[in-house]
A and B are shown apart, each in its own frame.
Chain A
């Protein structure tokens, strides 16, 4: 079986895979940053007491979480142009990943905030700290510890989800595999190579996660 495995073709297609890797990496980085911003904003709205920003945030989060990412991508890619809004596929893809991950990140942050003991808030209230001060000084530093690991998990999901962008012909890693398959009909070589590169990204992110676990997170026990 391994005898039939054609390494030469992989080498031949390596430049293509490297551009795919680069493109996946850039899409992921941009999407992650935008998704974080979206998530923070959505979460702030979600936990606020003001109804006109709270309910739209709930609607956004629930709509995203209740529908498949592929449907969201197709809606943005095929649906929006028919409604008169035309954006290039890469931007469409980034928009889809941002909106999708943003909703999950909003809920991850909210869970982190809710995990902080009510007594901490009461202690802050009793000292005369206002809402923003309580958030900044008491709640968020403690929420960070429980938020960072699932947040990095969500980023890993986002990287793998970006493979779906191949379906709207964004030239990223998976799309490179498809290209090689259609040109040479070597799906095993193509997709194993694709998988290998995803694994590389995964282990980089995982190393980052482990590092942040050690460095960033406050631990109560010593």
Chain B
């Protein structure tokens, strides 16, 4: 479903993605972790071309993402993206936030878009907040709206860039619950996160990155209990003991 072939990317001189080869099959939940600056956010941002790559190829559903001729609108509509800082549109209500893409990208009629949007809001448990503005919601609620906004386009892939890192500890659970629900629906997901409980519970594979390279990739049990590299072992011991 998603394939990286010899992908290289530089920010000026910083080699931020170093020869990445990776296949993510349909329905897989991949958790990406690693120290900050290791390139994990950049990795998933390349999948819907929020970032350009300089070498190699990324293929999503047989479409080469970084080809000039690629219809990005169509591609991006099939990929939901959830940001660390939510990035809800502050001048729109929750419902308008969720309806925006169906109405303007898929050109659905307002009534139909609203129906779908309300379904997705129900899925994240926020139907009663549909008329509220983002500033009136808690961080956890905002992030759930952001997830609904991603889901409303019926994407085949959901990308999460540290979805719980900007949240108060007590709100992390509600967001993770929504994500766990998605997993049970068979969504293909790439999640950059340090929530190791989430990784152990639902991830099919855990990918550990450092300095732009994939250092280790494997199933969560192996990764946490028996890391193959010193770098991964050190990282795990740090995040589990803090």
Contacts and interface: CB of A to CB of B under 8 A. Distances in A.
Interface of A: 117, 119-120, 122-123, 125-130, 133, 137-138, 141-142, 218, 220-222
B100 interface: yes
Determine the main DSSP class of A at the interface with B: helix
B89 A127 contact: no
Contacts of B150: 126
B53 interface: no
B111 interface: no
Given A119-B87, A133-B104, A126 B81 contact: yes
B61 to A, nearest CB: 15
Interface in B113-159: 133, 135-136, 149-150, 153
A127 B100 contact: yes
B135 A127 contact: no
Contact of B91 (A122, A128, A133, A218): A218
B101 interface: yes
B203 interface: no
A119 B83 contact: yes
Which are the 3 A-B pairs with shortest beta-carbon distances? A126-B81, A127-B101, A123-B87
B105 A129 contact: yes
Contacts, number: 65
B74 interface: yes
Contacts of A119: 83, 85, 87
10 contacts: A120-B87, A122-B50, A122-B83, A122-B87, A125-B76, A128-B73, A130-B73, A137-B100, A220-B133, A222-B135
Contacts of B77: 127-128
A219 B88 CA distance: 15
B42 interface: no
A128 B101 contact: yes
Nearest to A138: B89
B83 A128 contact: no
Among B50, B77, B79, B89, the one with the most A-chain Cβ atoms within 10 Å of its Cβ is B89
Contacts of B135: 220-222
Interface residues of B, number: 27
B153 A128 contact: yes
B165 to A, nearest CB: 14
Contacts of B80: 126
Contacts of B136: 222
A125 B74 contact: no
A117 to B, nearest CB: 7
A126 to B, nearest CB: 4
Given A128-B73, A128-B105, A128-B153, A117 B100 contact: no
Contact of A126 (B48, B74, B133): B48
A24 B80 CA distance: 55
Nearest to B96: A137
A23 to B, nearest CB: 40
B76 A127 contact: yes
Contact of A127 (B85, B133, B153): B153
Contact of A220 (B72, B90, B105): B90
B7 to A, nearest CB: 19
B87 A129 contact: no
Nearest to A136: B104
A119 B87 CA distance: 6
Contacts of A125: 50, 76
A106 B127 CA distance: 42
A142 B92 CA distance: 10
Contact of A120 (B48, B79, B89, B104): B89
Nearest to B134: A220
Interface string B225-238: 00000000000000
Given A123-B81, A129-B101, 10 more contacts: A120-B89, A122-B50, A122-B87, A127-B77, A128-B74, A133-B105, A137-B89, A142-B91, A220-B133, A222-B135
Nearest to B146: A123
Interface string B62-94: 000000000011101101110101011111000
Contacts of A142: 89-91
